[in-house]
Amino acid sequence: MQLSQELPEGYLYFRRCGAGTVTIVDRELTRSFLLAPDTLVEDWPVRAASQFDLAAVDALLALAPELVLLGTGERQVFPPREAQAALLQRRIGLEIMDNAAMCRTYNLLAGEGRRVVAAGILEG
């Protein structure tokens, strides 16, 4: 699904979101990743929602998010409660959704200047 025909300036954004792949600006990714408006972390080691653990939360915290969008692939799958609780205890919002919704929501929030982090799970 093509998401952006314009080229926003000042932040990293999703240009395309497909089955098992995303394009961030002009870089195609086939492995899980973290994306903040100013930072791309490629090859995030989480390959399934069940692997979203405290170590995964620590990687997110390094990006100082106010909100995390967890994309769990083609369908919404809830991760372990322990990891969800770790974010909520720090007053960091967590929204769990499929990857297409994550891409659209991230572009909207990043475009508004929000400190959002997209955590995309790709099985590649």
Q: What is the spatial distance between Cα 118 and Cα 103, in angstroms, rounded to a whole number?
A: 8
Mean local confidence (pLDDT), 62-72 = 98
Query: What's the structural domain count of the chain?
Result: 1
Hey, which bits of 8-109 come out as E strands? 14-18, 21-24, 27-29, 31-36, 39-42, 67-71, 93-97
Helix H or strand E segment including 2: none
Q: What is the spatial distance between Cα 65 and Cα 73, in angstroms, rounded to a whole number?
A: 21
Is the sign of the CA dihedral 92, 96, 100, 105 positive or negative? negative
Q: Model-level pTM?
A: 0.92
Is residue 8 situated within a structural domain? no
State CA 41 to chain mean position distance. Answer: 10
Q: Is the pLDDT of residue 68 over 60?
A: yes
Phi and psi dihedrals of 46, rounded to 5?
-80, 125
Residue 31: CATH number of its domain? 3.40.1230.10
Q: What is the predicted pLDDT for the residue at 10?
A: 83
Mean local confidence (pLDDT), 41-47 = 96
The residue ranking higher by pLDDT, 6 or 28, is: 28
Q: 53 is in which domain, residue-wise?
A: 14-123
Is residue 4 situated within a structural domain? no
Residue 83 tokens read as 């990891």
